[in-house]
Amino acid sequence: MHSSRLTGWALQAFLLLNAIFMLAPLLVMALSAFKTNAELFAAPIAWPEQFSLDNLRLIWRETNFPRYMLNSLEVTAAAMAILLVFATMASYALARYRFRGRDLLGLLFLAGLMVPLKLAVIPLFVQLNWLGLIDSRLGLVLIYVAMGLPSAIFILTGFLRGLPHELEESARMEGASELRVMWSVMLPLARPAMVIAGIQNAVPIWNDFFFPLVFITSDRLKTLPQGLSVFMGEYNTDWGVLFAGLTLSALPLIALYVVLSRQFIAGLTSGALK
Amino acid sequence: MKRHTTTLRATIAATLFSLSTILPATAGELTFWTWRQEDRAAYTELFRDFTAANPGIKVNFEAFAPENYNTIASTALAGGKGGDVLQARAYGVLEQFAKTGYYRKLDQASVPELANLPAEALAAETLRADGAVYALPYASQTLGLFINKDVFEKAGLTPPTTWAELQSVGAALKAKGITPIANGTATAWMDEVFAGIFTAPMLGPDFVADILAGRATFEDKRFTGALAHLLELRDLMPQGYTGIDYPTSQQLFLSGRAAMFAGGSFEIANFRKQNPKLNMDFIAPVAMQQGQPRYVAKFFDGGYAVNAQSPNQEDAIKLVRYMGTKAYGDKFAALLGNISPIKGVEIADPLLAKVAQLNAVSIPYIMAVHFRFQSPTGSELLSAGLQKMFAGQATPEQVGADVTAGIATYFTPFQKKP
Amino acid sequence: MRPGRALWIGVLLAPALATMLLFVVWPLLGAFADAFYSFRGLAPDRFAGLTNFQDVLFAEPWRSTALQALRHNLVVFATLLVAQNGLAFLIAFALLHALPLHRLHRVIVFLPVLLSAVIVGALWKLLLHPLFGAVNAALALLGIEGRPWLGDAQTALGSIMLANGWHWAGFPALLFLAAMQRIPREVFEAARMDGAGAFMILRQIVWPLVAQATTIIFTLTFIGSFNWFELPYLMAGLAGSPGGATDVLGLFFYRTAFGSVSSGLQDFGHGSALAVLMFVFLAASSAVALRFLRRREIEI
């Protein structure tokens, strides 16, 4: 969209301010990872005196970092794949068809957001135990899928509802099957919502440490936040190490996002009708 | 019906099983659960000794994040799993686990080593309802004042012994740009520790006895008067103390920016690790008047419990018995810098020996020892009240009244008061 | 409806529904049952009817804690709804324009969303620190005396909301942006031909035409504000320091069910009762709000 020069400058200034506001704390975090504890307390926002790798080395030495990261990647990727497929299917049904109990069903899915699943940790444990899924990555993946479905379905349904009816009607007139209408006509238009819902859910899944703490006990299956949470408990007064741990655990997701940012932007804009 | 569930279970399990892994409990292997990740090295060594004496029993160390430990342990135990031997908390939390039947009852027949422990320590791991012991106590903690000796020396000052001295020494430190007391009030549970330390000499054992007998409540002048004195310490605390949390307070003390830190003996090992060069002392809190006893507050940390559903009962009992021996206590104290309550334990470390000496003049850390058995706990009530008091939103009298009213919901001696 | 169509809808819904039933609904029903029991230690013992509900609603000290927490939740909801989402709306409108660097801006705006609450909490605690914090340091340069933002009952809740806004603003911003992009360009051009200014376009065209996004954002903000837990927990502790100034229902529930650090007592009976009450309140309000909000939506 184009705009007058004055509006353009005002908006640009606003966005630049916003960018500073968004980036400055991130910079503080990244820099803190390279500081000693004493330095951090003496000059928390200053540039590190020397980029000390001691904090990172400590984490590397004392935790099974690469293993944890691999586990986290596997669990998050599997959960995201299943979640997006299940959520898209359900949302499509809720948004594009009229049937009895539709609104109630939508509310049922949404209700999953209104209760802290943590409360159900004991029944969940008993159930996973019954299914033989304690100390297994699959158990975690399924919990994460269930946890992510409510918001993913809600966002996707909201977006799919807004798509014009003429598109699918004309495809049907041409004899396309329901699957074809969904796959080739409607879903491409929902890509922005899928991208947003995907990232919104990937973050809490990637960062969750509560469920792994309860359901995973073998060191070789531990996820990154879980492995680091125990480690950082030991160094809870050493903020340098703490920030190094936090930065390291955030890094994979941020790196992935930056690498895929072109696709991210493309995904976001693909819904534009013109 | 039974058949149906079995078929259903088999079907679901079969579809899900392919990726799952279950670790079967291996005979001759015990798992020890704890919230103390930082103690891994010490326990590894202690368990090595155990395995040497009991060939064929290996002990695995499993640590969990402390703030989630109770939830994780109770969830696993409810599901029939969990470590074979678990580090257990004391008092109210111990009771919850014991009452539910998660811990095995220990007695002199199965664990003769219980005789090595003083009654006061065993009481912390006893279910009051049946009078049985459910965990073998491992440490006592003492609350007092940490002193940075180098800071005091450089300032040409000596650590205070009376309230008046605390004020004058504090003013002198401040004049030199040093924060006298490192503590802030942002972390709620630390406020109870802070109050527990400075009020102990003002309250003394008589007050505790009066409270337990119902002769006094927390509205008593002795208590509210002691709280009012705490407010005088605000001048000696860091700038913006209402926003200073526990880790910051520790850091201020460790870095020498503050001269004193009110805390528990459980900090000693941690402080040494964080700053090996720190030249510190641990002293009793100041007396109101010269010559009066300087009481420290004391409590027991927790114990070692046996999972009642563990398939390795015999081996687990063997481990707990070993943990009740003097040899274990000696090594535990030396490796972990904590005071083992086992009788006759020798404490080589001079600072720790001093703490043990301070214990001779002590009162119970009252909320932890006596009012953590039901909600709202005395600790929750007091720390919430203290935070308000330090922020100027409540008077000592209001705090005393709130604490009393909260405890009165379950503590009958308080209910009789009109 | 043709039977084939019904089957197709069933196939679409089944996987999600089954997962939800198995891993959310069923275990939660088990947990909700706890609300009706008195406990012996950590296990439900005797059926207690509505006693637990009565306690948390009417008995002290639960009642005043619950009321104070609810009040804070309402403040949080109103503030986030207006400030956080208002900012997001403006960001989205700015991003809609093909300004220089707009791709970079789109990437940056979402970066904080990628961080865990643990990081955001630790980061903002450091920034707002009374002794070492960047915020007070920056204010000192302007000659303004800082305060212990998180230790002051006046500013603590606001500070945590600020951190929350920083963390999450990118999310509604992108939802708004995605919706704005679906507005056909001719609509804007026609408006401009008629001499409408930027504000006019925002109010008369953009706002009504992004109603679907507004519905989603309003509902998620509403539910999120009343289940708010992680950031206050990480920045103010389980007790809602200082002195309950940041206490919200999420903290109160968690403290009750799982026990605070100092006492550690777990109370699933009262904890579940609180969770049930919060659930009923949220479900009822969301159902009403959704009905109203969806009526505003226009198909483009």
Residue-wise pLDDT for B111-123, tens only, equals 999 999 999 999 9
Mean of the per-residue pLDDT values of chain B: 89
Residues of chain C contacting residue B383, judged by C-beta atoms under 8 Å apart: 239, 262
Q: What is the pLDDT of residue C82?
A: 95
Is residue C72 very low, low, confident or very high in pLDDT (cuts 50, 70, 90)?
A: very high
Among all residues of chain B, which has the CA nearest to that of A131?
A: B13
Residue C81 has pLDDT above 90, yes or no: yes
Of B71, B105, A222, A250, the closest CA to residue C122 belongs to: A250
Is residue B16 very low, low, confident or very high in pLDDT (cuts 50, 70, 90)?
A: very low
pLDDT tens, residue by residue, B150-173: 999 999 999 999 999 999 999 999
CATH number for the region A70-218 comes to: 1.10.3720.10
How far does chain A reach from its first CA to its final CA, in angstroms?
A: 11
- Are the C-beta atoms of A194 and A88 separated by less than 8 Å? yes
Which B-chain residues 54-73 have CB contacts (< 8 A) with chain C? Answer: 67, 70-71
C154 in a domain, yes or no?
A: no
What does R_g of chain A's alpha carbons equal in angstroms? 23
C282 in a domain, yes or no?
A: yes
How many C-alpha atoms does C289 have within 13 Å on its Cβ side?
18
Q: What is the pLDDT of residue C38?
A: 87
Query: Domain residues of chain A, as ranges?
Result: 32-62+235-274, 70-218
Q: What is the pLDDT of residue B24?
A: 39
Residues of chain A contacting residue C13, judged by C-beta atoms under 8 Å apart: 89-90, 93-94, 105
Three-state SS annotation for A36-103:
CHHHHHHCCCCCCCCCCCHHHHHHHHHCCHHHHHHHHHHHHHHHHHHHHHHHHHHHHHHHHCCCCCHH
Q: For residues C42-61, give the mean pLDDT.
A: 86
Q: What is the pLDDT of residue A3?
A: 60
Are A271 and C27 a contacting pair at CB < 8 A?
Answer: no
Which B-chain residues 92-121 have CB contacts (< 8 A) with chain C? Answer: 92-93, 95-102
CB B415: neighbour CB atoms within 10 A? 12
| Alpha helices, DSSP H, located in chain C | 3-20, 26-33, 51-58, 62-79, 85-96, 102-110, 117-127, 134-141, 156-168, 170-180, 185-193, 198-201, 207-209, 211-226, 230-236, 249-258, 268-296
Among all residues of chain C, which has the CA nearest to that of A29?
A: C123
- Are the C-beta atoms of C137 and C52 separated by less than 8 Å? no
Residues of chain A contacting residue C220, judged by C-beta atoms under 8 Å apart: 113, 151, 154-155
Residue B184 has pLDDT above 60, yes or no: yes
Is residue C167 very low, low, confident or very high in pLDDT (cuts 50, 70, 90)?
A: very high
Q: What is the pLDDT of residue B374?
A: 87
The answer to whether the B26-140+300-353 and B141-298+361-415 domains have the same CATH topology is yes
If you classify domain B141-298+361-415 with CATH, what class do you get?
A: alpha beta
- Are the C-beta atoms of B257 and B155 separated by less than 8 Å? no
What are C258's two structure tokens? 């799982």
Return the exposure string of A51-67: e unless at least 16 CB atoms fall within 10 Å of the residue's CB, then b: ebeebbebbeeebebeb
Alpha carbon distance B387, B393 (integer Å): 9
Are A122 and B81 a contacting pair at CB < 8 A?
Answer: no
Residues of chain C contacting residue A249, judged by C-beta atoms under 8 Å apart: 116, 119
Q: Is C254 on the interface with B (CB under 8 A)?
A: no
Q: What is the pLDDT of residue A176?
A: 85
Look up residue C79 and give its amino acid: T
C25 in a domain, yes or no?
A: no
Tell me the backbone φ, ψ of residue A163, rounded to 5 degrees: -75, 140
Residue B200 has pLDDT above 90, yes or no: yes
Tell me the backbone φ, ψ of residue B211, rounded to 5 degrees: -65, -50
Q: What percent of chain A has pLDDT over 70?
A: 92
Q: What is the pLDDT of residue B7?
A: 52
More confident residue, B322 or C137: B322
Interface-testing mutation among A135, A226, A230, with chain B (most B C-beta atoms within 10 A)? A230
pLDDT tens, residue by residue, C240-260: 888 889 999 999 998 888 887
CB B413: neighbour CB atoms within 10 A? 15
Alpha carbon distance B2, A133 (integer Å): 21
Q: State the total domains in chain C.
A: 1
Q: What is the pLDDT of residue A62?
A: 75
Residue B21 has pLDDT above 60, yes or no: no
Query: Can you point out the beta strands (E) in B35-153?
Result: 58-63, 85-89, 126-127, 132-133, 136-148
Q: What is the pLDDT of residue A89?
A: 94
Is residue C184 very low, low, confident or very high in pLDDT (cuts 50, 70, 90)?
A: confident
Q: For residues C20-29, give the mean pLDDT.
A: 90
Residues of chain A with pLDDT under 70: 1-3, 44-45, 230, 232-237, 269-274
Q: For residues C140-164, give the mean pLDDT.
A: 90
Residue B20 has pLDDT above 50, yes or no: no
pLDDT tens, residue by residue, B359-375: 999 999 999 899 999 88
What are A2's two structure tokens? 């184009």
For residue B376, cis peptide bond before it (omega within 30 degrees of 0): yes
Q: What is the pLDDT of residue A267?
A: 73
Q: What is the pLDDT of residue B23?
A: 41
pLDDT tens, residue by residue, B35-44: 888 888 899 9
Q: Is A13 on the interface with C (CB under 8 A)?
A: no
Q: How far is A243 from chain C (nearest CA, A)?
A: 8
Superfamily of domain B26-140+300-353: Periplasmic binding protein-like II (3.40.190.10)
What are B90's two structure tokens? 């004391």
C210 in a domain, yes or no?
A: yes
Residue B187 has pLDDT above 50, yes or no: yes
CATH, residue C227:
1.10.3720.10
Q: What is the pLDDT of residue C295?
A: 84
Look up residue B418 and give its amino acid: P
Are A110 and C286 a contacting pair at CB < 8 A?
Answer: yes
Residues paired with B87 in a beta bridge: B304
Degrees to nearest 5, angle at CA C255 with C251 and C257: 115
Tell me the backbone φ, ψ of residue A235, rounded to 5 degrees: -110, 35
- Are the C-beta atoms of C130 and B243 separated by less than 8 Å? yes
Q: Which chains touch B (3 or more CB pairs under 8 A)?
A: A, C
- Are the C-beta atoms of B355 and B143 separated by less than 8 Å? no
Q: What is the pLDDT of residue C19?
A: 93
Q: What is the pLDDT of residue B283?
A: 94
Residues of chain C contacting residue B380, judged by C-beta atoms under 8 Å apart: 239, 255, 260, 262-263
C160 in a domain, yes or no?
A: no
Residue C155 has pLDDT above 60, yes or no: yes
What predicted TM-score, i.e. pTM, was given to this entire model?
A: 0.89
How many C-alpha atoms does A125 have within 13 Å on its Cβ side?
26
Q: How far is A130 from chain B (nearest CA, A)?
A: 8
User: Running DSSP on this structure, what letter comes out for residue B87?
Assistant: E
Alpha carbon distance A175, B114 (integer Å): 83
Residue C243 host element (H or E): none
More confident residue, B3 or A207: A207
Query: Domain residues of chain B, as ranges?
Result: 26-140+300-353, 141-298+361-415
Of A129, A213, A239, the CB nearest to B72: A213
Of A133, A213, A234, the CB nearest to B64: A213
Q: What is the pLDDT of residue C262?
A: 61
Look up residue B257 and give its amino acid: R
Among all residues of chain C, which has the CA nearest to that of A146?
A: C20
Q: How many residues are there in chain A?
A: 274
Residues paired with B103 in a beta bridge: B307
